Structures are given as structure tokens and as C-alpha cells.
Amino acid sequence: MNNTALILGNGKSRDYNVGDLLEHKSTPTNLTDVAFVYGCNKIYLEDIEVDVIIATDPIAQHQIYREYDGGAELLFLDWESIPSEVAAAVAMFDQNVISNEYTPHGCVVSGEDNITMMTYLKESDNVTTVSPNLLPHEMSSGSMAMWDAAERGFDTIYLAGFGDIDHVHYDQLRGNEEQKKLRWEEERRYLIEKYSEINWVYL
């Protein structure tokens, strides 16, 4: 594998045969043979092997942790746990908690709007948490993948499925779609300028 990363965003423009665009004879299930592959959010629902799954959205993080059973590293923003017994006590006073089965290994509590997600942790897992303080500003999952790939020192970073309002795994995005699209564009522009020594390639 050369010093190349591939970031699979969730935009519907993403080409599922991106291996061919990288000038390799590759199928979507063995892209990791030719690049270090990032997937965002619900990429685990597809038959695509990735090295890292990135999520900054709190709800998506809890869903991924509970449902994904593969070997990729999970890179989550602000995935900090509290003692399980403390979380259980908090749950008694919150009627809108969506929780998995209790374990004594700690619990992550987060959410958005009126939904509180409470995930009790496995004895061992493959999660790396990124503190928001490490990031230059707030980032979406795709942008945090770009930041992480840049920080790991890849020379060439391919971006597939970026710039779309329509997403593979969502009928529509929550909130103002056009506003989010503009924010994501600004995030990408900032990172490409910050890490200008990297060869950034849109597929």
C-alpha cells in the first residue's frame, strides 16, 4: 500500500467503483489493498471494507457502536464515558433515554434535540475518541476524516461522495440542507488550504 488515503463520504455521487478511478483493478470490498480507507457514519451498512469509520454525529456514534461488529477502528468525536452506575442513576430521571443493555464497563451519554442516547460499553472495543479541543473548529464526519488523514501524514488523499445534499443513507438531511452543504464546503476549503502540501483529489 502506498502513502494514499481514500475517504468515502456519503454523498450519492460517490462512485462505488472508486478503485478503478485510483488506477487499480479493485472491487469495493478490497479497496484497503490499495489505500487506507475511511468511511463515514453508516458506511458499515454497505459491503465495503474500510480501515476507519468516522462519526461526529452523536446519534450515529451510538448506532455504530451498537450495530457494527467488524474490525475497523472507530474514530468518534467526544466519545467520553462515565461510570455505569452513574449513568443508570441518571436514566431513572430521563424519560427519553434510548439505552442498550447494562454493562459495568462504563457508559457514554449523549444526544441531540429531545433524544438521549445511553450506550453501555463492551469490555474491549476499537474506539478512539477525539477531543473537540484538538480540532481547529467544529467539523462534520467527512471533514474530520480529512483532518485525521492529513495528521497521519498521507501524501495523496482521494475524496469520494463529497459535496452532495442527497445522501446514500438518509432520505434527507436533518435541518437546513443547503446551509449544511455550504458549511461543509467551507470546512473542506479550510483543510485543503491548511494542508496544502497534500495532493487532494476529488473523485
Per-residue pLDDT, 175: 57
Per-residue pLDDT, 55: 97
Buried b / exposed e along 96-117 (16+ C-beta atoms within 10 A): ebebeeeeeebbbbbbeeeebb
Query: Letter for the amino acid at 125?
Result: D
Q: How far apart are CA 27 and CA 75, in angstroms?
A: 24
Residue 55, helix vs strand vs coil:
strand
Q: How far apart are CA 123 and CA 103, in angstroms?
A: 8
| CB contact at 8 A, 121 and 3 | no
Beta bridge partners of 54: 40, 75
Contacts (Cβ under 8 Å, ≥6 apart) of 110: 58, 61, 62, 78, 116, 117
Pairing relation of β-strands 4-8 and 156-160? parallel
Per-residue pLDDT, 112: 79
Per-residue pLDDT, 92: 81
Sheet architecture: strand order including 52-55: 127-130, 73-77, 52-55, 36-40, 4-8, 156-160, 199-202
Among residues 12, 37, 1, 25, the alpha carbon closest in space to that of 158 is found at 37
Could you report the average pLDDT of every consecutive run of 10 residues in the chain (203 residues)? 85 68 58 84 89 95 96 97 93 82 96 87 96 92 96 95 69 63 90 96 88
Per-residue pLDDT, 46: 86
Per-residue pLDDT, 189: 95
Backbone angles phi, psi at 146, to 5 degrees: -60, -45
Sign of the Cα pseudo-torsion (171, 40, 7, 191, in order): positive
